[in-house]
Amino acid sequence: MVDVSEKPVVHRRAEAVGKIFLSPKTIEEIRAGKIKKGDPLQVAEVAAMNAAKQTHLLIPHCHQIFLDVVGVEFQLSADTVEARCVVRAQARTGVEMEALVGVCAALNTVWDMVKYLEKDEGGQYPNTRIADIRVVRKEKGS
């Protein structure tokens, strides 16, 4: 790990986004509340919050950061679910990895909950994919 002990504690904020491509039928089922395992967006929100808080356990060189807030939002289109994760903390190091891990966990959770709708006859996922995961904003200030 990098020694950050000499860095001042300041306000940190990071926002990450990503999306999962799904069939329009799956999106309709999500909107109608007909997913067998429950509401994937609610479960994905909790997964994102838990993952962001556990980032230091998942990525070896990340510092353990006590987070002030993890916010997760979803936007549905005809064939995607976009996840957006905002993380804030008072810390010596940034929180962009926590935001990225939160987005990844959210999208993987959605996939897990709808995979039975996405499989083809051979049990494969020819069109389902997670893409465009990125940090869209990072802030550092007093």
Catalytic one among 3, 39, 68, 112? Answer: 112
Domain boundaries, the chain: 10-141
Active site residue 68: no
Task: Tell me the pLDDT tens digit for each residue of 87-115.
Answer: 999 999 999 999 999 999 999 999 999 99
β-pairing verdict for 67-76 and 129-141: unpaired
Q: Where residue 1 falls among pLDDT bands split at 50, 70, 90?
A: confident
pLDDT at 119 over 70: yes
End-to-end CA gap in the chain: 24
Say whether pLDDT at 136 is over 70.
Answer: yes
Nearest residue to 74 via CA among 103, 108, 54, 35: 103
The answer to whether the pTM exceeds 0.85 is: yes
For the chain, give the mean pLDDT.
97
Mean pLDDT, range 71-78, rounded to an integer: 98
Q: Please give the CATH superfamily to which domain 10-141 belongs.
A: Molybdopterin cofactor biosynthesis C (MoaC) domain (3.30.70.640)
| Mean per-residue pLDDT, 107-135 | 97
What does each C-alpha distance from 35 to 42, 51, 117 come to in angstroms? 12, 23, 9
Q: What is the pLDDT of residue 142?
A: 66
The two structure tokens encoding residue 50: 């838990």
